[in-house]
């Protein structure tokens, strides 16, 4: 383990942001798929890589020394783990979509270790549930980039397109449609200007929509792509959730509905009123509709609110859907809102709960809070913000993003 200098004399204390070559072993894995090690003076080294990292591997990396730590990028594996396998995709290690190629059957165990490290450090929690993704958990929507010549995913950390003609992480009907989609752009059947596209399907996979940056939609029909408005439908356990193409919904729709339903049912989440905040198109309200007397859904996006109202009506769920920013809605609450039979369910964006929502939630009279988070570190931060009085009774991590280090976290909070 040591340093190799690039053309400049070695600094006495490490000049911040100066690039240095480092060689050494990965000691352990941390949240986000980072490899953890230490530089010569004992400072922690955080390493990223285009492929999965295994503890114990010897690597070469380009690092930057900062005042309190160092960070960098693995550029070469000097002694790979015997558990390493070839990437499952030809674009593995190149495109920025999947960074856990190479882990093979150990991928789930690696992700669990990352989550374990996070929860232990930030929540001092050793008790939580892990729901690994099943083999058939494939993406029901993907984002592709067309640069005027090539169609594919962006290269890792670069605005450069890696051409692809299939995506093994996507639902088969989406993956198989990619060549026809590229042909349609080349034939000027679809817009040819460089932009980001989304391909999406329903549950079970059926129709395939292509959505451009202007939210215009095309449907893949037997004789090609045809411009068409419509909805994407997801069917689960006798319920149907619909949303407009391009609207937000879970990336792995089928597995997300199954996993959330399993966790929340096993935890016995039920009561009088469900306050579904950041409610989107009503995913959680529909999944829990038969467990509550009525639902109040709050969402800032008008199209999603309209879809939610339709979804809840068709599910015969008593509801009220409010188009409003969640922070503004919480600011209008009276101190002690809700009752002991009510539950607040929060599914905020990646940046987590707005700070102004914490006080109203702390002073509420609801019986429980369910917190959902797609960024583990932010999720843990918000749990700590809500305490006191709210403390986690149950915590789960769901692998809703296979082939990446990301997971979805869920906690049931009760008064401590």
Query: CB pairs under 8 A, 24+ apart, for 292-296?
Result: 292/343, 293/318, 294/318, 294/319, 294/320, 295/319, 295/320, 296/320, 296/322
Give the number of C-alpha atoms closer than 13 A to the C-alpha of residue 75, restricted to the C-beta side.
11
The answer to whether the Cα torsion of 374, 326, 386, 416 is positive or negative is: negative
Cα gap 130→347, rounded to integer Å: 19
Residue 285, φ and ψ in degrees, nearest 5? -60, -40
Nearest to 403 by CA among 76, 137, 34, 31: 137
What is the pLDDT, as a whole number, of residue 88?
Answer: 85
Q: Residue 98 class from Cβ within 10 Å (0-12 exposed, 13-18 middle, 19+ buried)?
A: buried
CATH superfamily of 127-134+252-415: Vaccinia Virus protein VP39 (3.40.50.150)
What is the pLDDT, as a whole number, of residue 35?
Answer: 95
Asked if residues 140 and 253 have their Cβ atoms less than 8 Å apart, the reply is yes
Strands 408-415 and 390-398: antiparallel
Nearest to 263 by CA among 98, 120, 130: 130
Residue 274, φ and ψ in degrees, nearest 5? -100, 120
What is the pLDDT, as a whole number, of residue 225?
Answer: 97
What is the pLDDT, as a whole number, of residue 15?
Answer: 54
Asked if residues 253 and 239 have their Cβ atoms less than 8 Å apart, the reply is no
Residue 174, φ and ψ in degrees, nearest 5? -70, -50
Tell the CATH topology of 2-85.
OB fold (Dihydrolipoamide Acetyltransferase, E2P) (2.40.50)
Cα distance from N-terminal residue to C-terminal residue, the chain: 47
Q: Which residues contact 390 (CB under 8 A, 6 or more apart)?
A: 361, 362, 369, 383, 413, 414, 415, 416
Residue by residue, DSSP assigns 256-291 as HHHHHHHHHHHTT--EEEEEEET-TTTHHHHHTGGG
Asked if residues 292 and 272 have their Cβ atoms less than 8 Å apart, the reply is yes
Can you give the pLDDT of all 416 residues of the chain as single tens digits? 333 333 333 444 445 567 899 999 999 998 888 999 999 999 999 999 999 999 999 999 999 999 999 999 999 999 999 999 999 899 988 888 888 999 999 999 999 999 999 999 999 988 999 999 999 999 999 999 999 999 999 998 888 999 999 999 999 999 999 999 999 999 999 999 999 999 999 999 999 999 999 999 999 999 999 999 899 999 999 999 999 999 989 999 999 999 999 999 999 999 999 999 999 999 999 999 999 999 999 999 999 999 999 999 999 999 999 999 999 999 998 887 899 999 999 999 999 999 999 999 999 999 999 999 999 999 999 999 999 999 999 999 999 999 999 999 999 999 98
Cβ count near 19 (within 10 Å): 13
Asked if residues 269 and 247 have their Cβ atoms less than 8 Å apart, the reply is no
pTM of the model: 0.91
Strands 151-154 and 161-163: antiparallel
What is the pLDDT, as a whole number, of residue 95?
Answer: 87
């Amino acid at each position: 383990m040591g340093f190799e200098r690039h053309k400049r004399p070695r600094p006495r204390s490490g000049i911040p942001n100066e690039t240095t070559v480092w060689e050494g072993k990965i000691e352990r894995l941390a949240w986000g798929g980072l490899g953890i090690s230490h530089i010569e003076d004992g400072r922690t080294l955080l390493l990223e890589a285009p492929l999965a990292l295994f503890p114990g591997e010897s690597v070469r990396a380009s690092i930057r020394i900062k005042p309190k730590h160092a960070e960098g990028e693995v550029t070469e594996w000097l002694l790979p783990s015997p558990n390493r396998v070839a990437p499952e995709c030809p674009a593995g290690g190149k495109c920025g979509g999947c960074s856990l190629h190479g882990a093979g059957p150990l991928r789930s165990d690696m992700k669990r270790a990352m989550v374990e490290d996070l929860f232990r450090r930030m929540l001092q929690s050793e008790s939580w549930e892990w729901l690994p993704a099943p083999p058939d958990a494939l993406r029901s929507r993907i984002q592709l980039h067309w640069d005027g010549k090539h169609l594919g995913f962006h290269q890792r950390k670069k605005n450069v397109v890696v051409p692809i003609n299939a995506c093994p992480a996507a639902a088969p009907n989406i993956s198989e449609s990619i060549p026809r989609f590229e042909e349609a752009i080349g034939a000027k059947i679809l817009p040819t200007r460089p932009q980001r596209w989304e391909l999406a399907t329903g549950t079970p996979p059926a129709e395939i929509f292509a959505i451009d940056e202007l939210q215009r939609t095309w449907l893949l029909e037997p004789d090609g792509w045809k411009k068409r408005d419509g909805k994407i439908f997801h069917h689960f356990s006798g319920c149907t959730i619909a949303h407009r193409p391009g609207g937000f919904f879970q990336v792995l729709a089928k597995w997300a509905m199954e996993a959330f339903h399993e966790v929340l049912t096993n935890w016995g989440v039920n009561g009088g009123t469900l306050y579904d905040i950041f409610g989107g198109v009503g995913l959680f309200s529909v999944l829990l509709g038969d467990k509550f007397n009525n639902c109040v859904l709050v969402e800032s996006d008008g199209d999603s609110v309209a879809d939610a109202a339709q979804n809840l009506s068709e599910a015969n769920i008593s509801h009220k859907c409010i188009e409003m920013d969640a922070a503004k809605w919480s600011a209008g609450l009276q101190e002690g809102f809700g009752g002991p039979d009510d539950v607040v369910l929060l599914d905020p964006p990646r940046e987590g709960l707005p700070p102004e929502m914490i006080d109203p939630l702390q002073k509420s009279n609801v019986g429980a809070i369910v917190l959902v988070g797609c960024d583990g570190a932010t999720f843990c931060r918000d749990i700590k913000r809500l305490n006191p009085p709210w403390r986690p009774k149950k915590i789960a991590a769901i692998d809703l993003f296979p082939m990446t280090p990301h997971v979805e976290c869920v906690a049931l909070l009760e008064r401590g």
